[in-house]
Amino acid sequence: MKILFLDQSGNLGGAELCLLDIAKTYRHNSSVMLLSDGPFRQLLEENQIKVEIVGKQAISLRKGGTLLQGIGAVGQVWPRVVQVAEAARNYDLIYANTPKALVIGAVASMIAKRPLVYHLHDIVSREHFSTFNIQLLVRLANQRAIQVIANSEASRSAFIASGGHADRVSVVYNGFDPTTYQIADTVRQEIRQAWGWPESNFVVGHFSRLSPWKGQHVLLEALCHCPEDVVAVFVGMRCLGRMFIGRC
């Protein structure tokens, strides 16, 4: 099957790393289209995956966007829809990996007459999205997606609670190679010593982009109620800098 993968970001995040693993399997006859340029493009190319950038600037519509802002973004969205629809005619399926990709992919799938799959990585709720964006995403998924892939039971439940069709969404957890995370005891001890953590410390790791919706504040609040021997390390990226924060 020839798949046209569509992602909104040129930056590296969990959704992009998940897409990378999937696209590797289909790299010989599929390609990835990104709505903005960035290090993700370079990573795809390093893995011999065909990639194309659609548009020169990121789409201005945000998770908390309103109807008026959505209307204002039409001028940015429509040229990309046309380009994706034209490319999609050479593929069997459009695979939208992010919310903005769903918006463009849904309309492009209608124009190109190609089926659409939406990979849901987000909790579609008022805590993370505006009412307008929730209605837009759920309606497009219900009307255009032949399948919605949720990365967790939580994302599936939130999608259904927001009006998503329950019979169209399935949970498929992100796969990974467990050997990647298996390290020798000596290495683990060296890391503990470097950070000043004795064996008696219980260490919690939080790995994600440093953004409010990732919930770092929840772990920080939990630490206030934990014994002193519980420590946490936050590993993530904000803008172009990496930040490592520890509690000892």
Position 178 in a domain: no
For 63, the 3-state DSSP assignment is coil
- Give yes or no: residues 155 and 189 share one domain: no
Residue 171: the pLDDT is: 97
Position 76 in a domain: yes
Residue 10: the pLDDT is: 85
Q: Which of 145, 171, 197 is the last residue of a domain?
A: 171
C-alpha neighbours within 13 Å on the C-beta side of residue 64: 4
Residue 56: the pLDDT is: 63
- Give yes or no: residues 162 and 210 share one domain: no
- Give yes or no: residues 127 and 212 share one domain: no
Residue 146: the pLDDT is: 97
Residue 58: the pLDDT is: 61
- Give yes or no: residues 153 and 48 share one domain: yes
- Give yes or no: residues 52 and 85 share one domain: yes
**pLDDT classification of 155: cutoffs 50, 70, 90:** very high
> What whole-number distance in Å separates Cα of residue 192 and Cα of residue 203?
9
Give the pLDDT confidence of 111-149 residue by residue, as tens digits: 999 999 999 999 999 888 889 889 999 999 999 999 999
Residue 9: the pLDDT is: 84
For the chain, strand residue ranges (E) read 3-7, 31-34, 50-53, 93-96, 116-120, 145-150, 169-171, 202-207, 230-238, 241-246
The total number of structural domains that make up the chain: 2
Q: What is the mean pLDDT of residues 51-76?
A: 61
- Give yes or no: residues 153 and 238 share one domain: no
**pLDDT classification of 225: cutoffs 50, 70, 90:** very high
Residue 237: the pLDDT is: 65
Residue 179: the pLDDT is: 85
Q: Which domain holds residue 242?
A: 183-246
In the chain, DSSP finds a helix count (H) and a strand count (E) of 9, 10
Percent pLDDT > 90 in the chain is: 53
Which CATH number characterizes residue 67's domain? 3.40.50.2000
Residue 27: the pLDDT is: 92
